[in-house]
Structure 1
Amino acid sequence: MILHIAAFRWKDDVTEADVTALTDALMTMAAGIPELRSYVAAPNLHLRPAGFDYGVAAVLDDQAGLDAYLDHPEHLAAYESFIGRMLAERAAVQLPIAEGSFR
């Protein structure tokens, strides 16, 4: 299995309404992508200093599932409609995980 994590830092003009609309779009998108085993997208709680503004974590079975998710038309539409204009900086990693490794 693969854990895909993306972190975003927003441009200064991004509003709370922008972030809410993005979150709604991403959660709707995730419900329609069967390759996603688990998915969360939300603003950073900022419980520690620094960090990015927003994060996404997706669990998928394999590379094919990751590709299906990232190349899905609704994922691309979310990027076009929201992330592209909001984004100042992005970081992403894909980590191998064993089934049942989340406790």
Structure 2
Amino acid sequence: MLRHVVLFTWSEDATEEQRATVAAKLGELPGIIPQIKSYVMGKDAGVSPGTVDFALVADFDSAEDFLTYRNHPAHQAVITEHINPILAGRSAIQYTWQG
């Protein structure tokens, strides 16, 4: 299994509507890209200071399946149209694990 974890920090001028749209559009991807085995995301709960704004964790059977997701036109459209306009920072990692 390959796990993809991405953490986002939104720009100061990002609206709640824009943030909600990102979550909604990302949430549509499991129905479009069958290589996604698990897909969970959420905004920061506001419990601790110094955190990022939004996290996504996705699981794939293989690196090839992740690359299909990464390069998929629907995923790329979400990035271009909804994430990049409000993005202040991003960190990501992909690692293998036993599921």
Consecutive unaligned residues in structure 1, runs of 5 or more: none
Query: What is the alpha-carbon distance in structure 1 between the residues aligned to residue 53 and residue 39 of structure 2?
Result: 17
The total of aligned residue pairs comes to 99
Q: Is 9-18 or 39-48 further displaced after alignment?
A: 39-48
**Deviation at 1:23?**
0.8
Residue number in structure 2 paired with 1:59 = 59
**Deviation at 1:33?**
0.8
Query: What is the alpha-carbon distance in structure 1 between the residues aligned to residue 70 and residue 41 of structure 2?
Result: 14
TM norm structure 1: 0.91
Q: 5 Å matches for 1:1-103?
A: 1-99=1-99
TM norm structure 2: 0.94
**Amino-acid identity (%):** 28
Consecutive unaligned residues in structure 2, runs of 5 or more: none
Query: Deviations for 1:47-69, whole angstroms, at most 9, x for unmatched residues?
Result: 22211101111000111011001
**Deviation at 1:21?**
0.9
**Deviation at 1:44?**
1.4
